[in-house]
Amino acid sequence: MQAKKFIPLVAFAVLAGLLFRGLSIDPTELPAARLGQPFPDFAQTELISGRQISVSALAERPALVNVWATWCYSCRVEHPYLLTLAEQGVPIYGLNYKDEPAKAREWLAQLGDPYQLNVSDVEGSVGLDLGVYGAPETYVLDAAGHIAHRHVGVLDEAVFKRDFSRWFPAVAPPAVAAGPEGGQ
């Protein structure tokens, strides 16, 4: 029996400990400290206009703050639903996270622009203050400008109905095109 043959076992034990910790920290959970806090202040450029903006630019509330990037392919899956929400009158602010602004502008030109404005966060510093885990993420900014809710991952109709509708009671579900009588 040699000590070095225990190396794989020890390495695995460390990994297992890490995974166990991973279970107890839910990546989709907003750190409790940030819940109910005002949105962190920032000084960044707006993606399309290029003007300097701060947190006061997120004036229309309640609103969604959507973290997205062109390198994130879940964002592509999510994008059509954001357009639907914008059409239904939900104000959405974008946080373009660690992205190339030129690519991001091209994306909005091609896929449509659901955002009131977009905070261009090339360095990811706003994301850091906010505790962004990855893209896509969507935050609810309540009427007082506080962070009321956070969703990690693709926002779709089911999630919206379940977790978001209490801040946006006016959003009606879209009419379903075909009924079940359509046969098999």
Partner 1 sequence: MIPELGHVALIIAFVLAIGLAVVPMWGAARRDVAAMNMAPSLAVGVTVFVAVAFALLAVSFLQDDFSVAVVAANSNSLLPPIFKFSALWGNHEGSLLLWVLILSGWMTAVATFSRGLPLVMVARVLSVMGMVAVGFLAFSLLTSNPFERLLPNTPLDGNDLNPLLQDPGLIIHPPLLYMGYVGLSVPFAFAIAALMGGRLDASWARWSRPWTNVAWGFLSLGIMLGSWWAYYELGWGGWWFWDPVENASFMPWLMGTALVHSLAATEKRGVFRSWTVLLAIFAFSLSLLGTFLVRSGVLTSVHAFAADPERGLFILIFLALVVGGSLLLYALRAPSVASRVNYSGVSRESLLMINNLVFTVSTIVVLLGTLFPLIMDAFSLGKYSVGPPYFNAVFVPLMALVMPFMAVGPLSRWREDTTRRWLHELLVPGLGVLVVAIVLAFLGSDDFNLWIALAVLLAGWVALGVVKDLWRRIATGVDGGLTWRRLTPSFLGMTLAHLGFAAVVLGAVVVTQENEERDLRMAVGDVETLGAYRFELMSLGQQAGPNYLADQAVFEVRRDQELIAVLVPEKRRYSASGQIMTEAAIDARLWRDLYIALGEPIGEQAWAVRLQYKPMVRWLWLGALMIGLGALVTAFDRRYRSQRSNVPAAQQGVAAVAG
Q: SS3 string of 141-171?
A: ECCCCEEEEEEECCCCHHHHHHHHCCCCCCC
CB of 164: closest distance to partner 1 in angstroms? Answer: 16
CB-wise, 9 or 32, nearer to partner 1? 9
73 near partner 1, rule: CB under 8 A: yes
CB of 86: closest distance to partner 1 in angstroms? Answer: 12
Q: Which segment (57-65, 72-80, 88-96, 164-172) binds partner 1 by CB under 8 A?
A: 72-80
Decide if 81 contacts 157 (C-beta within 8 A).
yes
User: What is the spatial distance between Cα 142 and Cα 86, in angstroms, rounded to a whole number?
Assistant: 17
Residues 88-147, interacting with partner 1 (CB under 8 A): 98, 106, 109-112, 128, 131-134
Q: In whole angstroms, how far apart are CA 120 and each of 47, 109, 127? A: 5, 16, 10
User: What is the spatial distance between Cα 11 and Cα 8, in angstroms, rounded to a whole number?
Assistant: 5
Find the binder of partner 1 among 74, 100, 116, 146 (CB under 8 A): 74
Q: Token pair for residue 9?
A: 């076992």
CB-wise, 63 or 132, nearer to partner 1? 132
CB of 133: closest distance to partner 1 in angstroms? Answer: 4
Residues 30-69, interacting with partner 1 (CB under 8 A): none
DSSP state of 127: H
- Strand runs labelled E in the chain: 44-46, 52-53, 63-68, 92-97, 117-121, 137-141, 147-152
Chain residues that interact with partner 1, rule: CB under 8 A? 1-2, 5-6, 8-9, 12-13, 15-16, 18-28, 71, 73-74, 76-77, 80-81, 83-84, 98, 106, 109-112, 128, 131-134, 152-154, 156-158, 173-174, 176-178, 180, 182-184
